Amino acid sequence: MRHLLSTRDLDLDTAIRLLDVAEDMADTQQREVKKLPTLRGKTVVNLFFEDSTRTRISFEAAAKRLSADVINFSAKGSSVSKGESLKDTAQTLQAMGADAVVIRHPASGAPQTLATSGWIDAGILNAGDGTHEHPTQALLDAFTIRKRVHGAGSRGKSLDGLAVTIVGDILHSRVARSNVWLLTTLGATVTLVAPPTLVPVDTRNWPVTIGYDLDDALASGPDVVMMLRIQGERMRDAFFPNSREYSRRWGLDDGRLHRLEPTTIVMHPGPMNRGLEISAAAADSPMSTVREQVTNGVSVRMAALYLLLSGDREN
Ligand code: CP
């Protein structure tokens, strides 16, 4: 694998391979093998132009557990605030010997630009670009679902036949986009539920069913309910129902939680707006995988770095 830019690019075999390697990585963590020598001598740069807690820290932990050297770069406090371009920033990283660049950027397509511009030889991992994609989030979500459903026998398995309902601010969600492509490639059926104003126009070309009524969607008994964060910071021109109405109509509140089958998997990528899209009881219930998702994120990012930086990077 040369870069990891999008889940839309991943075929079934590559997606399963990534999840299986993540299983191997998780096994080493459970055996308390804290560090593997696999990426000794490699340098991974975390290049973050947007805030992050989970993604940045787990990429750092993943790289360190594989014995890579890690350089953390935050646009705040860097020469980006003096107007330095993405090209000059990338070439500075190239001069420092970066083997992989993990990039989060507010502009959709920024990782693709780095990967195709010729400015830098490093492998590029998309850690979230604008409203476009967040591939490692979708991979850790798929890993978490597969683990809950298949347990210790997960390796080699797809998500064939599972029904996943993704709820909320689809319009601004790179997590939703990456999950739609990956989960459907893995054989799941995906339903999106949102206020009509938070459904992107291009969903007519997506392999999904669209609904606007959360109670109807939950009554069909999905295997997985994935709640999305309301992205207030990107809401500029979108019509957003007021918070109380949103929570009443599209929030996973205590009443809706109790009507779900107890085997339903409740997910949220974080950060959560507790009391808006998800109640505290739902976020903390045994059905919730919120903390498992964070733990699994390290194994999945170890797998992505391993597949990018070891072996044949041309494939
Ligand atoms: N889920 C996610 O991307 O979280 P962060 O913004 O904290 O990285």
Give me the tens of pLDDT residue by residue for the chain, a chain 315 residues long. Answer: 999 999 999 999 999 999 999 999 999 988 877 799 999 999 999 999 999 999 999 999 999 999 999 999 888 877 887 888 999 999 998 999 999 999 999 999 999 999 999 999 999 999 999 999 999 999 999 999 999 999 999 999 999 999 999 999 999 999 999 999 999 999 999 999 999 999 999 998 999 999 999 999 999 999 999 999 999 887 776 667 788 999 999 999 999 999 999 999 999 999 999 999 999 999 999 999 999 999 999 999 999 999 999 865 554
Decide: 296 in ligand 1 pocket, CB within 6 A.
no
- Name the token pair of 1: 């694998």
Is 2 contained in some domain?
A: no
Is 265 contained in some domain?
A: yes
- The verdict on 112 and 256 lying in the same domain is no
Is 1 contained in some domain?
A: no
Is 51 contained in some domain?
A: yes
* pLDDT at site 232: 82
Decide: 52 in ligand 1 pocket, CB within 6 A.
yes
| Residue 270, annotated as binding a ligand | yes
* pLDDT at site 187: 98
* pLDDT at site 77: 77
- The verdict on 86 and 17 lying in the same domain is yes
137 CA to centre of ligand 1 in angstroms: 8
- Name the token pair of 239: 């019509």
Decide: 251 in ligand 1 pocket, CB within 6 A.
no
Write the residue with the smallest CA distance to atom 6 of ligand 1. Answer: 52
- The verdict on 191 and 56 lying in the same domain is no
Q: How far apart are CA 128 and CA 202, in angstroms?
A: 19
Q: How far apart are CA 135 and CA 152, in angstroms?
A: 24
Q: How far apart are CA 224 and CA 15, in angstroms?
A: 19
Is 224:162 a contact under the CB 8 Å cutoff? yes
Decide: 271 in ligand 1 pocket, CB within 6 A.
yes
Closest CA to 108 of 60, 23, 32, 171: 171
- The verdict on 96 and 230 lying in the same domain is no
Number of domains forming the structure of the chain:
2
C-alpha angle 2-305-136 in degrees, rounded to nearest 5:
90
* pLDDT at site 313: 53
Whole-angstrom CA distances from 244 to 155, 198, 209, 263, 266 are 43, 16, 26, 28, 21
- The verdict on 157 and 124 lying in the same domain is no
Ligand 1 pocket: which of 48, 49, 52 to mutate (most atoms within 8 A of CB): 52
Domain that holds residue 117: 7-134+294-313
135 CA to centre of ligand 1 in angstroms: 12
Cis ω before 196 (30° cut-off from 0): no
Is 107 contained in some domain?
A: yes
- Name the token pair of 133: 């994609």
CATH number at residue 61: 3.40.50.1370
- The verdict on 25 and 124 lying in the same domain is yes
58 CA to centre of ligand 1 in angstroms: 10
* pLDDT at site 234: 79
* pLDDT at site 237: 62
- The verdict on 281 and 149 lying in the same domain is yes
- The verdict on 193 and 109 lying in the same domain is no
55 CA to centre of ligand 1 in angstroms: 5
* pLDDT at site 32: 79
- Name the token pair of 290: 């919120």
- The verdict on 143 and 283 lying in the same domain is yes
- The verdict on 75 and 146 lying in the same domain is no
- The verdict on 282 and 299 lying in the same domain is no
- The verdict on 128 and 272 lying in the same domain is no
* pLDDT at site 117: 93
Which ligand 1 atom is nearest residue 55's CA? 8
Is 251 contained in some domain?
A: yes
